[in-house]
Amino acid sequence: MEQATDDTAPDSTAVRTVNSLRRDTYADSVALMRAARHLGDLPGVAAASLVMATEANLRLLADAHLLTSEAAEAGPNDLIVALRGDPEALTLALAAVDDLLAQPDSPASSGTREAPPARALTEADPATSLALISTPGPYAAAEALKALRCGMHAFVFSDNVPLDQEIRIKQEAHRAGLLAMGPDCGTAVVDGVPLGFANVLRPGRIGLIGASGTGLQQVSCLLDAYGEGIRQMIGTGGRDLSADVGGITTLDAFALLDADPGCALIVLVSKPPAPEVAERVLARAARASKPVVVCFLDCTRARPSGRVTVAGTLRDTAAAAVEALGGKVPEAFVPPRQPEPSGPQLPAPSTHLLRALYAGGTFAYEARRAVPGAVTTTEPAAGGIRLPDRHLILDLGDDAYTAGRPHPMIDPTVRAAHLRVALADPRTAVIVLDVVLGHGAGADPAAALAEELERVPARQRPPVVAFVVGTGADPQGRAAQEDRLRAAGALLAPTSTDAIAYAAALLPTPGHDRAEALTTAGGTV
């Protein structure tokens, strides 16, 4: 183990940046994110990141000022522990790293001891039908190909996998009659087993396919709330419907679900695909033996045909699926009215901007349709976060904002900092927040956001519209998370679609008084 320190000042009590290098040491990316979250919560630790030393991760650490000169020479087989904070706190944090990485993902559900897991795919039980792969991107393709050659479906959580390798993986899976989910596949539920970031969903008769992780989570959770259940949920990775990949996994998943007698309806969720791929997928959907609901967000090319229904939003996708099976969905969302004492105060005339701070990239994409022309990045500033003088819709799960940190669904630090700035900005008219629950997400994701809201007196705070993606069976509990946000003064919407529409209605328009906007949207001035 090698250690390098970069002092920011000669004073021994000054904040320091420390890199601890573990040569030829690999750890799963999810385990690294959880360990980083724990270290970052320790008193005196300002920032913590644990990553494999790939070129992409080294750049992210450098951008976050968490990389020392010695550790910059690390190779992709090495693990970097990067910390910034008080010297004494860093000493304690470094001492805790090995124990954190040695911890199992979760405590055993019984007192029995399980056999140690296989250390290689070839050592796996012959009955194993799926491999979950979470390695540094440069190595993921090799492991996925091994899985396929062992007769296993491959769920590839890893990102930064070269495009040509993704194509090769998916072509080989297709030839073998298997599925390659990913690379960069964030969620799936296979035979009732959640993979990646996934919610606890009731079993049922609907099969989902998606190139959108949080989009799949939103639709599946709404189906659960509407009384339907999930047969299978197959993630494809975000590039599957690109012209280069050609929808290989999407089309293979269609074939699998269409042939499954236990699947009564197929739902496809994606950002707009390449035009030629959209045509190919829609043609396959039209030949299906069962109803199909297609949602290509903000895509005008998709047209309904035969048994294919086209939906434009995540909410409408879930509703169309339920109605296609003869079910009913709840009445249209009516924005909540706030009692006068805690209601938002009438903003000043300069207060006119939306600040949508999402953990889910699909929600940010959907929001751009409701608020066209919004800025989607923030500018770096020496003093911290600088918000633009335009509407802002951020995907804070993007690499530009995590910079070696855990995803905001695990670690709320980055988003809480942006929320703090948005609440203090006199130009902010309304804020939108998503809270995503389920396996892999933080234990209490609403808490950090609620604490930021409670720092600001209610009548000095702009309206904050929030929505929770989850089910009552999730470890965090949807109702408990909604109650926490509501108690902090947030206005709750049932879906991502409703939340951005509600927020947009609170924005002033020429000739439209803000008091009228709040009243129309259901608020109280």
What separation in angstroms does the CA of 94 have from each of 49, 76, 91, 274?
Answer: 12, 21, 5, 47
Please, which residues have CB within 8 angstroms of residue 326's CB and are 6 or more apart in sequence?
none
Residue 292 structure tokens:
């199909």
Residue 230 structure tokens:
């999930």
Listed as own residue / partner, the contacts of 319-326 with beta carbons closer than 8 Å and 24 or more positions apart are: 319/222, 319/226, 320/293, 321/206, 321/219, 321/223, 321/228, 321/265, 321/267, 321/293, 322/223, 322/226, 322/227, 322/228, 324/265, 324/291, 324/293, 325/205, 325/206, 325/228, 325/264, 325/265, 325/291
Cα 135–62–59 angle (5° rounding)? Answer: 45
The tokens 């599957």 sit on which residue?
240
Cα 156–157–162 angle (5° rounding)? Answer: 70
> Which DSSP category does 470 fall into?
-
What's the CA gap between 27 and 51, in Å, rounded?
Answer: 9
State which H helix or E strand residue 485 sits in: helix 478-487
Pick from 237, 252, 321: nearest CA to 284? 252
Classify strands 384-386 and 379-381 as parallel, antiparallel or unpaired. Answer: antiparallel
Residue 457 structure tokens:
């007196």
What separation in angstroms does the CA of 83 have from each of 10, 52, 56, 162?
Answer: 18, 14, 18, 29
The structure's pTM equals: 0.82
What's the CA gap between 488 and 137, in Å, rounded?
Answer: 40
State which H helix or E strand residue 53 sits in: none
Residue 332 structure tokens:
């249209």
What separation in angstroms does the CA of 159 have from each of 53, 146, 162, 323, 398?
Answer: 14, 18, 9, 36, 12
Phi-psi category of 522—alpha, beta or left, where left has phi over 0 and alpha has psi -120 to 50? Answer: left
Q: What is the pLDDT along the chain (525 residues), one digit of tens a residue?
A: 666 666 544 444 588 999 999 998 877 777 888 889 899 889 999 999 998 888 878 888 888 889 998 788 898 889 999 999 999 999 999 999 988 888 765 433 334 445 556 667 777 788 899 999 988 788 899 999 999 999 999 999 988 899 999 999 999 999 999 999 999 999 999 999 999 999 999 999 999 999 989 999 999 999 999 999 999 999 999 999 999 999 999 999 999 999 999 999 999 999 889 999 999 999 999 999 999 999 998 665 666 677 899 999 999 999 999 999 999 998 888 776 654 444 454 445 578 999 999 999 999 999 998 898 999 987 655 557 889 999 999 999 887 776 667 789 988 888 999 999 999 999 999 999 999 999 989 999 999 999 999 999 998 999 999 999 999 999 999 999 999 999 999 999 999 999 999 999 999 875 444 434 443 444 322
Domains of the chain: 2-102 (3.30.70), 185-324 (3.40.50.261), 340-521 (3.40.50.261)
* DSSP state letters, 158-224: -----HHHHHHHHHHHHHHT--EE-SS--EEEETTEEEESB----EEEEEEEES-HHHHHHHHHHHH
Residue 391 structure tokens:
């509407």
Residue 93 structure tokens:
């944090």
What's the CA gap between 472 and 476, in Å, rounded?
Answer: 8
What separation in angstroms does the CA of 385 have from each of 148, 291, 368, 381, 420?
Answer: 45, 47, 21, 6, 10
What separation in angstroms does the CA of 41 have from each of 36, 290, 411, 448?
Answer: 9, 49, 9, 12
pLDDT, residue 327, reads 94
CA 342 to chain centroid, in Å, comes to 31
Handedness of CA 207, 213, 215, 219 (dihedral sign): positive
CA 400 to chain centroid, in Å, comes to 14
